[in-house]
Amino acid sequence: MNTYADFHRRSITDRDAFWAEQARRIDWQTLPEQVCDTSRPPFARWFVGGTTNLCHNAVDRHAATRPDDAALIWVSTEVGREVVYSFAQLQAEVQTLAAILQAQGVGEGDRVLIYMPMIPEAAFAMLACARIGAIHSVVFGGFASVSLASRIDDAAPKLIISADAGSRGGKVVPYKPLLDEAITLAAHKPHKVLMVDRGLAAFTVVSGRDLDYAALRAQHAGAQVPVVWLESNRISYTLYTSGTTGKPKGVQRDVGGYAVALATSMDYIFGGKPGETYFSTSDIGWVVGHSYIIYGPLIAGMATLMYEGLPVSPDAAIWWSLVEKYKVTVMFSAPTAVRVLKKHDPALLKRHDLSSLRALFLAGEPLDEPTGRWIAEALGVPIIDNYWQTETGWPLLTVAHHIPGVETVPTRFGSPGVPMYGYDVQLLDEQTGQPLTEPNQKGVLTIAHPLPPGCLQTVWGDDDRFVRTYWSSVPGQQVYSTFDWGLRDADGYTFILGRTDDVINVAGHRLGTREIEESISSHPAIAEVAVVGVADQLKGQVAIAFAVLRDPAQAGMALEGEVMKHVDGQLGAVARPARVHFVSLLPKTRSGKLLRRALQAVAEGRDPGDLTTLDDPSALAQVKELLGR
């Protein structure tokens, strides 16, 4: 049996042959003439001359051979509904919506902005755009009007698809007023707005602009809309990176490379098979939703479970009841969600038959060892961490368990794993740009040109920004920077230490917040922690920690001193936080990302900015009160 290292090496040294083999996983109308065009670095063009279509590969080819198999399973605990669409039914819904778009003048290369909750029509919209060659840009539902307006101006959509409202924890979140305000603020005005009325919130119809989805769906029911075959390097979608400041940064994705990358990952990384069920708990507003709620599972011929609701409603066993009911084989979630479940009765994890589940994948933030071990023991299945970005589109670091004839790389808690095939990952010294060859040296995690299929082509409408932002930050090297610190141990496992732009400079010592967080997290009293750098007149910056305790009754100066001493012992006095504040919860987005920048702003007495995606406003209010802001 071959080693994974040999397999990975071949994907780099014999790149074109490797990816030519993977390209056979999808349907092409015209076969590619060239596997990879690297003539204009740092840009790369994959499967040049080949024509294909994402919607055909996700829907039509399965509808032709397995029309009655489940394709899209929608479950909403918010409105108490469950609907299962077969591949034939999904194909019909997508064609109907494609016909609606075409009737409004939307065609190849036009942009369609999707601002929707987690409902089936959102999936139909993405696939319908892919079907006719329109470029979709999904904006997270409920985003603030100012943020939405900036994305409208950047994408310049011909049409926007939205809904009356979303719902979270039983609370209705009206979307239409936010959208109307955003269009008022935006310089670009869409020709039409297609509205899905869920009956959750009354809204004002703008005459001549707003269209009723239900009426048009009835009008176009049964429409036959052929797929538009697109050259592999045409644009499939743009997606704005979270945490963007200033002008939004639209990650631009191709068609063919993305399809091949996802098809390969569904096999080699996730081990998903046609007829099985995949459950990602993410949202279509994020890249995980694009790659592993919509396109990836469907391209693989799996049923994909799309969930609207909280992980603890009606109780903390809801996800596991869905695993049992729909025989989920592969599940993808985030460490934050697991930490939420950890606070509930562990018996809930044993209530349902989870024998169909082969693995739980976690990503979005670093997975700490206690959380990983807890869920592994509770579920009795492999817990597989993975690290990637909106920009890469699929996992960059993880362990691939399903490559035929290749040894399985074991997981290692604390590390997301090893570089995936196709990624020529290098750890470089940030000052010199030189490769770090010894184990446990801290450097910038980078990827050599070319990026593998499925990664971003460029920044939408701004090639210069693509080069300037991603390929120009390491001295003397034109490499893609992830802007993450990492180190590699003697066995080749990579550990992520935090953002290079979240570095704290304490009296000339550069420290990654992630290193301090890992140290504090290892204290038995700490359940969760966020560390930020706060301006200090004497030292430049100091580290401030905000920690959630396993037992709130332990809070006090004594424990704060104990935690500081704990960090002293692990990282040295220079890394010791100036303060450890104990809070009952940390400010996070609805997708589970910690809002460290908002914490830093509050700690420095600054405006924390747009908090639309904040899951629970009381978290930041508690910090403000604690700090007397």
pLDDT tens digits, one per residue of 164-212 = 999 999 999 999 999 999 999 999 999 999 999 999 999 999 999 999 9
Distance CA 245, CA 342 (A): 34
Give residue 243's pLDDT band: very low, low, confident or very high (50, 70, 90): very low
pLDDT (0 to 100) of residue 244: 35
Q: Does 135 have pLDDT greater than 80?
A: yes
Q: Does 137 have pLDDT greater than 70?
A: yes
Q: Does 503 have pLDDT greater than 90?
A: no
Give residue 392's pLDDT band: very low, low, confident or very high (50, 70, 90): very high
Distance CA 452, CA 446 (A): 13
- Lowest-pLDDT range of 1-5, 268-272, 353-357, 425-429: 1-5
Q: Does 396 have pLDDT greater than 90?
A: yes
Distance CA 9, CA 492 (A): 13
Digit-coded pLDDT (tens) for 143-168 = 778 889 989 999 999 999 999 999 99
Task: Report residue 194 as tokens.
Answer: 């297609």
Digit-coded pLDDT (tens) for 512-545 = 787 788 889 989 999 999 999 888 866 778 899 9
What's the mean pLDDT in 343-357?
92
Which has the higher per-residue pLDDT, 607 or 389?
Answer: 389
- Spell out the residues 6+ positions from residue 138 whose beta carbon is closer than 8 angstroms to its own: 113, 114, 115, 116, 122, 126, 237, 239, 284, 285, 289, 290
Please tell me if the domain spanning 4-309+386-470 has the same topology as the one spanning 507-627: no
Helix, strand, or coil (residue 138): strand
DSSP state of 410: P
pLDDT (0 to 100) of residue 36: 98
- Domain 507-627, CATH class in plain words: alpha beta
Q: Does 357 have pLDDT greater than 90?
A: yes
Domain ranges (residues) in the chain: 4-309+386-470, 507-627
Question: Which of 60, 158, 171 has the alpha carbon at shortest distance from 103?
Answer: 158
Q: Does 98 have pLDDT greater than 70?
A: yes
pLDDT (0 to 100) of residue 340: 85
What pTM was estimated for this model as a whole? 0.87
Q: Which helix (H) or strand (E) holds 177?
A: helix 176-185
pLDDT (0 to 100) of residue 370: 86
Digit-coded pLDDT (tens) for 568-627 = 877 777 788 999 999 999 998 877 778 888 898 889 888 887 777 788 888 888 888 888
| CATH domain 4-309+386-470 topology | Rossmann fold (3.40.50)
